[in-house]
Structure 1
Amino acid sequence: MLMPQDQISTPLTKDQAYALVDAVMERDDLALTASAHEDAGTGEWVFEATCDSPPDMQAFQALAQEILGGQVGFSVNPLDDETDWVSRSLEGLRPVQAGGFYIYGSHETVAPPLGVTPIRIDAAQAFGTGHHETTTGCLEAIQRVLKRKKPVRPIDVGTGTGILAIAVAKRRRVPVVASDIDPLAVDITRDNARENGVGHLIIPVDAAGLDHRTIQGNAPYDMIIANILAAPLVSLAPGIGKIAEPGCAIILSGLLNKQAPRIVTAYRMQGMILRDRLERGDWSTLILEKR
């Protein structure tokens, strides 16, 4: 018999729902899984999380305040303890296509379409299921960069589930350093890389910042990806400037549109210029190049 579980839900905008999903799944203490979906009847977007009973509502409210900037009216409903609601909720996560990549979960029964690069990532893990605008923006940015460059020394800083590192490894077939401050994310990246047939190409690194010997030992890089948050992107600018070789393509995301000018200025001071900017909803992805 399964342990008692509760389902937490609330109506949000699409951007808010996916932002909260990724924030919840970045932690391992709040929910078994989380998802966002559009209600077929009302067209309204809904955030849902499946938790062991009872859920930590105070922690959910604090996270919603941090991510969405306000209070959220969550509803809590006990679930039938004979149903595996974790698997049921994963069924609602539809595949995502961006930049010629096809992101899907192991619950998906339909084969990926022809002409795409498939990446299998399950949701109940670390940050990065492919559904958030920052991730899809990065996937599109990767495609744009690879149309004009052939990087051989890429790094993904703050890799989460490893989705972006795996995308580059699948397209370029070269080793990719994938670092994260969270040891769980590093383990997940290693597993996901193996599941996607690029385990031998991904170099997972448990590191805070860029001073780790593996990161420094593989520098300089000709492609750097960092999908994190605006504040750490600013603080990492000098370090990224040091490990980037001239002509390096730098993809930055995890920032709101209104935060983009601040990021561009911080990186311009380190000798990097803006080449392209992608906007998806309230979120921006920047493509820069080291002069």
Structure 2
Amino acid sequence: MSVDQLSVSLSKEQAFALVDAVSEREELALTASAHENEATGEWIFEATCEGPPDVEAFAQLARQVLGGEVKFTVETLDPEVNWVARSLEGLAPVIAGGFYVHGGHSTEPVPEGLTPMRIEAAQAFGTGHHETTTGCLEAIDMLLATRRPTRMIDVGTGTGVLAIALAKRLEAKILATDIDPVAVETTIGNARDNDVGERIDAIEAAGLDHPEIAARAPYDLIVANILAGPLTELAPGMGAIAAPGGTTILSGILNTQADAVIAAYAAAGFALRDHLRRKDWSTLVLEKR
């Protein structure tokens, strides 16, 4: 495929705000990131797109988020290079919920008392850096302080980071599902690299429509870090596969969308137990009544 990169120099706050906005519009780009140019001190917003990007759509989104006009530069990249992974390679390790998430490029020692997870940059969401992922890891850590779930599913697993976090802390099987076959393969590889391959079963599934999901229900822990729209659509199905008293952790939700998601899950038989806010993003902890 042809791969183009769209970029612009912004302030640090603007760059990260635009990354968050593009992350919510998954049709715009394969990945979006922000980094500092060490030579100039400027912050650069970059989006990697399959084929020519919709520059006008990016410009309109920038006007909405930043309140002004932004002039993007577009560059066609070498198709032989995995630029989705390359754009994420330099990310520093992340600490969240007692987990230490790092890439293979990291040479720093793992701080004492933290659970290490090696998650490589790939064509799948979830390196641990986004507020939705850190919010889920913190929610998992809080849950495991009081409960030990045994029947678990990670819906929309991405890189498998949440399933791997559970497998690192629990001696139990986790079902990890994603609509994207690349994400499934990425999860299998990451699980193997973290020595939890035997505990994670990764399958390709659209939403909850797979016989394996039904066969393993009911679940006493469901985690899903996707987007508010799909989460709302999945609410009745989540209610059907959740065990009474079971916990569901949801993210990929902007703070402005949280009330609508909470209402959809209340209608499906869930009660809100906790609401974590990280910048513009919400992580919801719900219990099946």
Give, as a single letter, the amino acid of the residue that structure 1 aligns with 2:159. T
> Of residues 218, 221, 236 in structure 2, which corresponds to 1:220?
218
Report the equivalent of 1:58. 53
Gaps (5+ residues) in structure 1?
none
Residue 197 of structure 2 aligns to a residue in which SS? coil
Residue of 236, 243, 258 corresponding to 1:245: 243
Give the equivalent residue in structure 1 for 2:105.
Answer: 107
Judged with a 3 Å threshold, the aligned counterparts in structure 2 of structure 1 residues 144 and 45 are, in CA distance, closer, same or farther, namely: farther
Give the CA deviation at 1:112.
Answer: 1.6
- Bigger shift: 62-71 or 258-267? 62-71
1:243: Cα distance to partner?
Answer: 0.5
The Cα RMSD (Å) is 3.3
Aligned residue-pair number: 279
How many angstroms does 1:262 deviate by? 0.7
| Equivalent residue, structure 2, for 1:279 | 277
Q: CA deviation at 1:78?
A: 8.3
CA distance in 2, matches of 1:6, 1:57: 6
Provide the C-alpha distance between the structure 2 equivalents of 1:67 and 1:192, rounded to a whole number of angstroms: 34
CA drift of 1:277 comes to: 0.4
Are the aligned partners of 1:17 and 1:46 in contact in 2 as well (CA < 8 Å)?
no
- Match status 1:13 vs 2:8: no
- Looking at structure 2, the residues matched to 68 and 117 of structure 1 have their Cα atoms a distance apart, in angstroms, of 41
Distance in 2 between residues matched to 1:269 and 1:86, nearest whole Å: 38
Deviations 1:37-71 (A, max 9, x none): 245577764223578xxx84434664676799677
Q: CA deviation at 1:72?
A: 5.1
Per-residue CA deviations over 1:160-213 (Å, capped at 9, x if unaligned) read 111111111111121100000111111111111101111000011100121311
Partner SS for 1:58: coil
Structure 1's 42 and 167: CA in aligned 2 closer, same or farther, altered over 3 A?
Answer: same
Write the letter of the residue equivalent to 2:16: K
Matches within 5 A, 1:1-291: 8-10=6-8, 11=10, 12-17=14-19, 20=22, 35-39=33-37, 45-48=43-46, 56-59=51-54, 62=57, 73-76=71-74, 89-291=87-289
Secondary structure at the counterpart of residue 107 of structure 1: coil
1:23–1:67 CA contact under 8 A, matched in 2? no
Is contact 1:36–1:93 with CA below 8 Å preserved after alignment?
no
Alpha-carbon separation, structure 2, partners of 1:132 and 1:236: 22
Q: Matches of 1:6 and 1:92 in 2, distance apart? A: 20
Which deviates further from its counterpart, 37-46 or 103-112?
Answer: 37-46
Quick check: 2:164–2:200 contact (8 Å CA) kept in 1?
A: yes
Q: CA deviation at 1:124?
A: 2.9
CA distance, structure 2, for counterparts of residue 125 and residue 87 of structure 1 = 6
Q: For residue 118 of structure 1, what is the amino acid of its counterpart?
A: P
1:7–1:226 distance in 2 versus 1, CA, 3 Å: closer
SS at match of 1:288: strand
Identity level (%)? 57
The one-letter code matched in structure 1 to 2:142 is R
